[in-house]
Structure formats: C-alpha cells, structure tokens
Amino acid sequence: MGHSHNHNHSHSHDLNGRNLLISILLNIAITAAQVIGGLISGSLALLSDALHNFSDVISLIISYIANKLVKQKASLRRTFGYKRAEILAAFINASTLIIVAILLIIEAVERFKDPQEIESNLVIWLSVIAILGNGFSVLLLKQNAEDNMNMKSAYLHLLTDMMASVAVLIGGLLMKFYQIWWIDSVLTFAIAIYLIWMGFDLLKESTKVLMLFTPDDIPVDEIVKEINNIKAIKNVHHIHVWQLNEAEIHFEAHVDFETDITLSEFDTILNEIEELLYHKFEINHINIQPEFGKCDAKDVIVQD
C-alpha cells in the first residue's frame, strides 16, 4: 500500500525545453566563432574555450532530450516512465565536464613548454562575444537550476564557460599590452581546474541517486523512532529509502503490529505514517508491508 503527493511540472518543463533550445543555438554559434578565431589567432585558451563550448552544446542537447523524455508517460514496460532521464543526463554532463578539463590540462602543460605569439585582438573580441552569449544562457537557466539536477548540470556547463571566457579576455588584454604569451597556458590550466571542481560535486550527487543511496537529508534512525512511537506498532524494519528524481523520494518498510488488526485499522495507521513522513521528512511515495507474528529478520536494514 502506498501514497504519493504529486504536482504538475509540465509548464516548468516546457519553459526548460525552450530555454535549453535557445542556449543550444547560442552555443553552436559561439563555438564556431571561437574555433575559427582560435585557429587564426593561435590562442590555445580560445581553442580550449571553444572545446568547452562544444562540450556545452553536447551537454545541452543531452539535457534537452532528457527534458523531453521525462514527460513520457509510464507503461507496462516502463512503470516509472523516464523519470530518471534527467538524473542520467546530469551524470553524463558532469562526467564530460571532468574529461574535458583533463584534456585541457594536458594541452596547457604542452603549450606552456613552448609558448607562442598570439593575435590578441581577435582573442579579446571573441571572448567578449562568448561572455555575452553564455551570460544570457546562464540567466535563462539559473532559476530552474536550483531544484533540478539536469538543469543544474546544463547551468554549470554554461557558467563555467562564461568564467572561462572572462579568463580568456583577461589573458588577451595581458598579451596585447604586456606580451605575456605564457598567460594563455596558465589560464587554460586554471579553467580546467575550475571545471573539475564544479563537475565533481554534481557527479557525486547524480551517482548517489543512480545508486539508490539514501538522500543525505533523510535521517533513517529518526524515522524509525517516530514510526515506532505510533500506537499499535511493534517494530518497523527492512527499510529502503531512495530518490527517484528531484521531485520524488520513496520509502518502503515492513511494519510489525502488536495485534492482529483489521484492514480498516491498518488504513488509519497507514494514513498517520504517510502524513508523518510527508510533512516532517518530505517523503512523498510510501509503501508499507504490514505483518503480525511473522518470523523474519527484524533489522532496520536487512541484507537482501
């Protein structure tokens, strides 16, 4: 038996999809301009920023597809539908963010050993264009990034690329006025370290969800204590708590009763458990298996 509190997010998803599509088109244009400019100017920082922008395009496309898939209805073959699509997209995007950063570090080290003169004027103008384009995309996704892991992954890609473009602009100005050519490699290295720092936390969070780990803010011991305090309940055990996506936290457990209660009595107690878990712990999908005098393991966590 279970209970859920569902909310309609279709309007939000429609806005997410539109904003992602605008960001994809902007980043395709920025990437093309930076590749051409990087090849002409000889700037590794500009080419590395273009590579990051290209990874943004791929990541945004993945996020866009996930945003569309999550609207698909559940079926006999897919009883949860595609509700985890956005979590998977966040995991992929965080992974690519880190991989791109490692490639940038390798290139930066190689270029630092052999710094080259760079056409700084082109670097400056293209970095300004990238800052404006990515800055607009960041504003489009910022609001939804706070409560959606998929949108957060796309937002982080764009935010880090905007920061990278700021670094490239600073490097271009230093090269133009002070001829400090090695700054191109140093800034590339700094950009890469920043990408790893930003991507690791998202990778860790999405991995936890995909591995069905208990959410960090769910105190299982306290939940057990609260349920055990309900009259007529002898023991709660065999607990599983997991997060399906940003909107759904699931709880299932076996509940051992003091007496052989009726089904209507169980429904009353079940409603009390549901209200407790929803209002105090924000758990919105609950499945309870009632038991009386059953000989099974009574541990809170049972090794299945």
Q: For the chain, which residues make up each domain, given as ranges?
A: 2-210, 220-291
Task: Using a pLDDT cut of 70, give the percent of the chain over it.
Answer: 93
Q: What are phi and psi of 237, to 5 degrees?
A: -150, 180
* Domain 220-291 annotated CATH 3.40.50.920: no
SS (HEC) of 229-271? CCCCEEEEEEEEEEECCCCCEEEEEEEEECCCCCHHHHHHHHH
pLDDT of residue 6: 44
Most confident range (mean pLDDT) of 31-35, 71-75, 140-144, 210-214 is 210-214
pLDDT interval class at 221 (50, 70, 90):
very high
pLDDT of residue 4: 44
The arithmetic mean of pLDDT across residues 67-76, rounded, is: 90
Tell me the per-residue pLDDT of 47-69, one tens digit each, with 9 for 90 and over: 777 777 787 788 889 989 998 99
pLDDT of residue 7: 44
Residue 46: pLDDT over 80: no
Answer yes or no: are the C-beta atoms of 124 and 46 closer than 8 Å. Answer: no
Question: What is the side-by-side order of every strand in the sheet holding 2-4?
Answer: 2-4, 285-291, 249-257, 233-243
pLDDT of residue 260: 95
Topology, domain 2-210: Alpha-lytic protease prodomain-like (1.20.1510)
Of 51, 33, 17, nearest to 161 (Cα)? 51
The arithmetic mean of pLDDT across residues 114-127, rounded, is: 78
pLDDT mean across residues, the chain: 86
Residue with the bigger pLDDT between 303 and 51: it is 303
Residue 130: pLDDT over 60: yes
Angle at 121 between CA 116 and CA 122, to 5 degrees: 85
Residue 13: pLDDT over 80: no
Residue 233: pLDDT over 70: yes
Residue 127: pLDDT over 90: no
**What does the alpha-carbon distance between residue 17 and residue 23 come to, in Å, rounded to a whole number?**
10
Q: Which token pair is 99?
A: 């991989």
pLDDT of residue 2: 47
DSSP symbol at 293: S
Say how many residues make up the chain.
Answer: 304
Residue 116: pLDDT over 80: no
pLDDT of residue 59: 83
pLDDT of residue 302: 86
pTM of the model: 0.78
